[in-house]
Amino acid sequence: MVKLPDGNYQTVNVVGLDDVTLFGRPELVGGKIEDIYAENGFFVVDDAEIAKLEYPHLGSQFELNDHRVVVVGLAKVATSGLYGTPTLYTTYNRAIQYIPNPRFTISYVLVEPKSPGDLPKIKQQVAALGYLALTKEEFMKRTVDFFVYQTGGGTNMLIMTLVSFIVGLSVSGQTFYTFILENLERFGALKAIGTKNRELMGMILFQVGFTSFLGYGLGVGSCTLLMWLAKLRLPSYAAMVTYANLLIPFVMVLIITAISS
């Protein structure tokens, strides 16, 4: 908990960098990297959450656990932290001095191999110690799998997708079924003048396909537009459209089209 100059309190994440190498340090957009060694020196991440710290500048001061915090740099990171919490960087020894913790609280150790060929040996030696070594990609996949399979996020997304599929199928099916009923006389007239069944089916399939793919395009376009607007308001918004995002709905549109027609 950080005490701001106006007396309000704000929860923050404090990241302690290795005192010697500063490995994992963020990119600075203000201040100098060596200033982190200054007395009470902290970096503040300049992202969408910085407003919660009342937009600090170089020289701003906070109070952290009865210790003075001086902003000596503004940092830029690839993505903001989870849960809308501002992030501060300092040295590791200062972090544990300001925020005393019990022993053995390290979540993971970040290692940079000299070459990709060293990865199997590193994994083997870490496994021999009873721990797990993961590459960047493996760590990202493990994080994603946790949120998808071990929290309610994946189930909620699956339910929303199934509901939207059922609603789309029922609405489009009912629409085209009503269209056929309302035009039975016209289809009968076409049949009377010699139109073949496959030609009538071709007409229906063309109409269904045209309207379905038009709706598919409008849906993809509206999603992309909303994501673009969200990124304008939220710099850390991390949504993106992948080829899988386009292919899976396309297959679902084909299924809806085939059943409803």
Amino acid at 161: T
How do the domains of the chain map onto residue ranges?
Answer: 2-98, 116-149, 152-260
Burial (CB < 10 A; 0-12, 13-18, 19+), residue 69, is: buried
pLDDT for 133 equals 93
Q: What is the pLDDT of residues 35-47, one digit of tens each?
A: 999 989 999 999 8
- Give dist(CA 1, CA 8) in Å, integer: 10
Q: What is the pLDDT of residues 195-239, one digit of tens each?
A: 888 888 888 888 888 888 888 899 899 989 999 898 888 767 778
Which residues, given as ranges, of the chain have pLDDT below 50?
none
Q: Model-level pTM greater than 0.75? A: no
Identify each DSSP E strand in the chain by its residue range: 2-3, 9-10, 13-17, 27-31, 41-45, 61-64, 67-76, 87-91
Distance from the Cα of residue 161 to its chain's centroid:
18
Would you list the DSSP string of 101-158? --SS---------SSGGGHHHHHHHHHHTT-----HHHHHHHHHHHHHHSSHHHHHHH
pLDDT for 82 equals 62
pLDDT for 94 equals 92
Amino acid at 103: R
Burial (CB < 10 A; 0-12, 13-18, 19+), residue 172, is: buried
pLDDT for 81 equals 63
Amino acid at 48: A
pLDDT for 89 equals 94
